[in-house]
Amino acid sequence: MTKSSVETPGEKSQRLFKEFIKSKKIMIVDAQSFSRATLAHTLVSLGASMSQITLHSKFEAAQAAMATSVPDILLSEFDLEKGTCGLDLLVSQRRSNKYSKDSLFILITGNTSQAAVARAAEEDVDGYILKPYTVDGLRMALMKYAIEKAYPSPYTIKIDEGKKKIDTQEWDEAIQIFQGAADLDPKPSLAYFYQGAVEERKEVLENAEIDYRKGLEYNRIHYKCLVGLFDLFTAQNRTKEAYDIVRQISRYFPANPDRLATVLRLAVINEAYDDIENYYQLFKKLDRRDEKLVRYVCAALVVCGKHYLRKRVVSRAIELFDKAKITGMRNPRLLKEIILSLLSYDQADKAGLFLADYPPEYQGTPEFAALRYAIQEKNIPIGESLSQGRALISRGVSEYVLYAILIKRTLQAGFIDHADALLAKALQQWPEKAEELRKITAE
């Protein structure tokens, strides 16, 4: 063999890349046309053809295209429009492509923080390219990630071997393999994650927690280890620790409806009221908002508003109630809860503003009539209040707020027998309110 016929490392890499990329479908998603063109040109220079490549500037268009043709290779910008992220496209690709070993996912990141997230999403993200990049740097990165995918390292091979033992439920053998894998990589977070997952399957939960935490020692935002800990704490009803973990996940990884709903639920349980406003801002950036998430956001905002009412910071409470009202599209059930909360803190004028937001089609309902009475009755003589309240009951209006007010006013007027009759009816309809009604009669 002559010297000129010897293949250089660079030539070998290019040949291997060309073999890997042959006949694969490639999708590039980036808002910047220059970046899309540069990525496509580089791929073509490395052996791809333009017929293999589709270009998209928006998340929705890329996701729609995936519904009919799932790419084998996906290169996506980290930040896309309306709060969406390239990691969300990964979910679509992997869901349709069943975690194909031949598929490749590369994130285009705009800063080192995003690059850290890409590294933390180990096993899901095959690599990242940090902007601004040079053409030579781009070529080298693309070849490196593709070759690593096609020719995995001993560490990756060992991880795959352990995962096969998980599939066959050979738990002890799997743990031994993952322990061996940990010696093959300087940052073996993934090996510790799988070791923890196996310990969890074996119900040795203390060991599972140790393994997840060990993985986080090598990468403090390792996604799978964080999720493993979160699921473990949730199953053990360790809500404070679960919230600390999911708050960390939401800080570093893109928001999605399911995760944000969980974060909000735990924030309320842990009374983390100062965080709720931040999660509301994340919610506003989401392009996809399902009914469950809207319900959680509204509930969290109302609970937070009640917190500020208790602290007598009424203006802050009103701001949060307004956001809940708008998010819930003036849902009558939500407005009722806000109104009753304000009335319980003697904020009848503020409650009236929310009553005015009731949809016209609900303003003829018994509920609306009872709430209007509750807001107005403090400003009228007690005799007129009793008369209006009794008239509503005779019309068949059966709302707890109406009975509570009327019992209190009837006692104040000295009509003990009539108050007792109202109390008996109220206890029959709302037995869960017995303690509250007892306090009213004791005043």
Expressed as residue numbers, the domain containing 202 is 154-252
What's the average model confidence in pLDDT over 130-153?
A: 86
Same domain, 120 and 173: no
**Which domain-ending residue is among 235, 252, 269?**
252
Same domain, 243 and 265: no
Please report, for residues 98, 161, 173, 185, 412, the alpha-carbon distance to residue 157 in angstroms, rounded to integers and kept in the order given: 19, 6, 15, 12, 80
**Which domain-ending residue is among 252, 283, 314?**
252
Strand ranges across the sheet with 104-109: 53-56, 26-29, 73-77, 104-109, 127-130
What phi and psi, each to the nearest 5 degrees, are found at residue 128? -140, 155
Kindly indicate the confidence band of residue 1, based on its pLDDT and cuts at 50, 70 and 90: very low
Same domain, 366 and 314: yes
The per-residue pLDDT for 100 is: 53
Same domain, 395 and 415: yes
Cβ atoms of residues 132 and 106 within 8 Å: no
What's the average model confidence in pLDDT over 223-232?
A: 93
Cβ atoms of residues 139 and 45 within 8 Å: yes
How far is Cα 341 from Cα 318, in angstroms, rounded to an integer?
A: 11
The per-residue pLDDT for 250 is: 82
CB count within 10 Å of CB 310 equals: 12
Task: Note the helical H segments in 57-168.
Answer: 59-66, 86-97, 112-120, 135-150, 154-167
Structure tokens at 387: 């008369």
pLDDT digits (tens, 9 = 90+) for 289-334: 778 889 999 999 999 999 999 999 999 999 999 999 999 999 999 9
Same domain, 174 and 220: yes
Same domain, 243 and 279: no
pTM given for the model:
0.73
- CATH code (residue 190): 1.25.40.10
The number of distinct structural domains making up the chain is 3
User: In this model, does residue 229 exceed pLDDT 90?
Assistant: yes
Same domain, 197 and 325: no
What phi and psi, each to the nearest 5 degrees, are found at residue 82? 55, 40
Same domain, 307 and 373: yes
Same domain, 416 and 309: yes
Mean pLDDT, rounded, of the chain: 89
Same domain, 304 and 421: yes
The per-residue pLDDT for 115 is: 57
pLDDT digits (tens, 9 = 90+) for 80-106: 876 677 877 876 666 665 545 567 888
Higher-pLDDT residue of 361 and 150 is 361
Which residues have a Cβ under 8 Å from the Cβ of 201 and sit 6 or more positions away?
Answer: 166, 169, 171
Same domain, 247 and 266: no
What's the average model confidence in pLDDT over 133-152?
A: 86
Same domain, 143 and 175: no
The candidate with the shortest Cα–Cα distance to 267, out of 237, 303, 293, is: 303
**Which domain-ending residue is among 213, 234, 252?**
252
Burial per residue of 179-198, b for 16 or more beta-carbon CB atoms within 10 angstroms, e otherwise = bebbeebeebbbbbbbbbbb
